[in-house]
Amino acid sequence: MHQKKKIAVLGATGSIGRSTLDVVRLERERFEVHSLAGGSRIEPLVEAAREFGVKRVAIADAAKHDELARALREAGLGKTEVLAGERAAAELAADPDADMVLHAVVGAAGLRPAFAAAAAGKRLLLANKESVVCGGELLMNAVKMGGADLYPVDSEHSAIFQCLAGAGEEARRGARLILTASGGPFRGRRDLSGITPAMAVKHPKWSMGRKISVDSATLMNKGLEVIEASWLFGFPADRIDVVVHPESIVHSMVEYADGSVIAQLAMPDMKTPIALAMGWPERIDGGTAKLSLAKIGSLTFEEPDREVFPLLDIACRALREGGAATIVLNAADEEAVAAFLDERIGFTDIFRVVEETLEDCAGLGAPRSLEEIFEADRSARRAARLIIERLA
Ligand code: NDP
Ligand code: MG
């Protein structure tokens, strides 16, 4: 029996974090939860800390330190160490005792923990796509320099990782990536007026956090994923395609020079890519239902509607442009989605905020450090907020 792998679960109280804990529950002989990090909610964090008996717990909201410490004491976890503040999750990511870091914090707040895990040479199971979109080459270099192993958790990227497994340099050179997209809740609509937050977060196939659900509804999520795929696998924008596949059974594909297409299929359940990242090169059963193609009957595919959903192309343009464009894109989107969820702006205003912020921040140079990424992120948020105020 080999030693249990110790995992730091960042974003533990969210959709991916909870699915990760589900996988650990099934594989207690192999994995142990070493630490947990959340944003601001205490109750689910303490609940998970109690169940898994973790050594360290972090909360991003610094004002919640004492309340969390008290709640842990009352739960009989007086010895559990409490960390609080915006650097707390990064500290857990770099903890020498943790073997793996499952990173499912939402948004650019995930940058610091991603760089910390990379520098500490961890096995990094990465769901937080925003850190790849903003970190780009700097993050990929940090992974290399730190000797870390990065396994994507985003389902499309997990699929591509599997479809590329075993392909040598030559084979990759002539290949194209084909990302599948569910199309979101508004697929087929020509008119996106009158969409409320409640409508936008109700995804037809996946149950996810609110931010990524809105991104799926605008197709920004697919734009972010094209950028993510480009950095993770070293493919330029013009060798990455997107096809809409409403059943969400084919999670993505790779087309090779000979016309062969390798796809990965599974029921839509994030426990599959999470378990893959935890176990690779072994495959462990994370509890996802097995696929029955006969029951499903047919799989359908269509072109994305790039006119009604302009953010897909806008994101691809930002990738081609380089510099700080993808950081600006991400920051503007985070601000716009938050404003939409607060009912300060309408659904299609998200498109305007992103597009105009990119115009306002055009020409920002490529960052040379993590701190410069934060600088670009801050300037873009300032510009986006001004646009939001005007629209609100
Ligand atoms: P959720 O909103 O469900 O969860 C977000 C988690 O991050 C929560 O634990 C939240 O804590 C925590 N958090 C929020 N802000 C901070 C912060 N500043 N520092 C540390 N932790 C913070 O999101 P999801 O689980 O849906 O998504 C997480 C990430 O995974 C995103 O980047 C998303 O794009 C990606 N992803 C998600 C998929 C999915 O199916 N859900 C699929 C593919 C990728 P609290 O509960 O206290 O707010
Ligand atoms: Mg995805």
Q: Give the CA distances from residue 352 to residues 8, 25, 304, 327, in Å, rounded to whole numbers and listed in that order.
A: 38, 44, 20, 17
Q: pTM of this prediction?
A: 0.98
Backbone angle region of 2, left / alpha / beta, with phi > 0 → left and psi within -120 to 50 → alpha: beta
Mean pLDDT of 184-196: 97
| Ligand 1 atom 22 nearest Cα | 39
| Ligand 1 atom 13 nearest Cα | 39
Q: Copy the structure tokens of residue 377.
A: 């992120």
Residue 214, ligand 1, Cβ within 6 A: no
Counting every residue, how long is the chain?
392
The pLDDT, as a whole number, for residue 206 is 86
Read off the pLDDT band of 1 (50, 70, 90).
Answer: low
Q: How many CA atoms lie within 13 A of 221 on its CB side?
A: 30
- Residue 104 Cα to ligand 1 middle (Å): 5
- Residue 111 Cα to ligand 1 middle (Å): 13
**Nearest atom, ligand 1, residue 155 CA:** 43
> Nearest to residue 182, comparing CAs of 149, 134, 218, 145?
218
Residue 168 and residue 295 in one domain: yes
Residue 130, ligand 1, Cβ within 6 A: yes
Residue 37 and residue 106 in one domain: yes
- Residue 159 Cα to ligand 1 middle (Å): 21
For residue 82, the enclosing domain spans 5-152
- Residue 167 Cα to ligand 1 middle (Å): 32
The total of other beta-carbon atoms located within 10 Å of residue 53's CB is 12
Residue 55 and residue 145 in one domain: yes
Q: Where are the alpha helices (DSSP H) in 1-87?
A: 15-26, 43-52, 65-74
Domain containing 9 — which CATH number? 3.40.50.720
**Distance (Å, whole) CA 53 – CA 8:** 13
Residue where a domain stops, chosen among 296, 320, 344 = 320
**Looking at the predicted structure, is the pLDDT value of residue 160 above 80?**
yes
The pLDDT, as a whole number, for residue 273 is 98
Residue 208 and residue 267 in one domain: yes
Residue 118 and residue 171 in one domain: no
Q: Which tens digit of pLDDT belongs to each residue from 105-127? A: 999 999 999 999 999 999 999 99
Q: With 0-12 CB in 10 A as exposed, 13-18 as middle and 19+ as buried, what is 313? A: middle
Read off the pLDDT band of 188 (50, 70, 90).
Answer: very high
* 98 SS3 class: coil
- Residue 155 Cα to ligand 2 middle (Å): 5
Residue 69 and residue 191 in one domain: no
The total of other beta-carbon atoms located within 10 Å of residue 163's CB is 22
Q: What are phi and psi of 83, to 5 degrees?
A: -120, 145
Least distant ligand from the CA of 129: 1
Residue where a domain stops, chosen among 137, 152, 167 = 152
The pLDDT, as a whole number, for residue 262 is 98
Read off the pLDDT band of 2 (50, 70, 90).
Answer: confident
**Nearest atom, ligand 1, residue 12 CA:** 9
Mean pLDDT of 335-347: 98
Mean pLDDT of 370-386: 98
Residue 286 and residue 331 in one domain: no
- Residue 212 Cα to ligand 1 middle (Å): 9
What is the best residue among 130, 182, 212 to mutate for testing ligand 1's pocket, by most ligand atoms within 8 Å of CB? 212
**Distance (Å, whole) CA 235 – CA 319:** 11
For the chain, percent of residues with pLDDT exceeding 90: 98
Domain containing 330 — which CATH number? 1.10.1740.10
Least distant ligand from the CA of 46: 1
The count of structural domains within the chain is 3
Least distant ligand from the CA of 64: 1
Residue 359 and residue 276 in one domain: no
- Residue 225 Cα to ligand 2 middle (Å): 7
**Distance (Å, whole) CA 80 – CA 53:** 8
Mean pLDDT of 170-185: 97
Q: Which tens digit of pLDDT belongs to each residue from 208-219? A: 999 999 999 999
Residue 132 and residue 159 in one domain: no
| Ligand 1 atom 32 nearest Cα | 128
The pLDDT, as a whole number, for residue 205 is 86
Q: What is the mean pLDDT of the chain?
A: 97
Q: Which tens digit of pLDDT belongs to each residue from 284-313? A: 999 999 999 999 999 999 999 999 999 999
The pLDDT, as a whole number, for residue 305 is 98
**Looking at the predicted structure, is the pLDDT value of residue 362 above 70?**
yes
Residue 147 and residue 38 in one domain: yes
Residue where a domain stops, chosen among 152, 177, 209 = 152
**Looking at the predicted structure, is the pLDDT value of residue 10 above 70?**
yes
Residue 135 and residue 174 in one domain: no
Residue 104, ligand 1, Cβ within 6 A: yes
* 195 SS3 class: coil
Least distant ligand from the CA of 134: 1
Contact 278, 184 (CB under 8 A): no
Residue 221 and residue 264 in one domain: yes
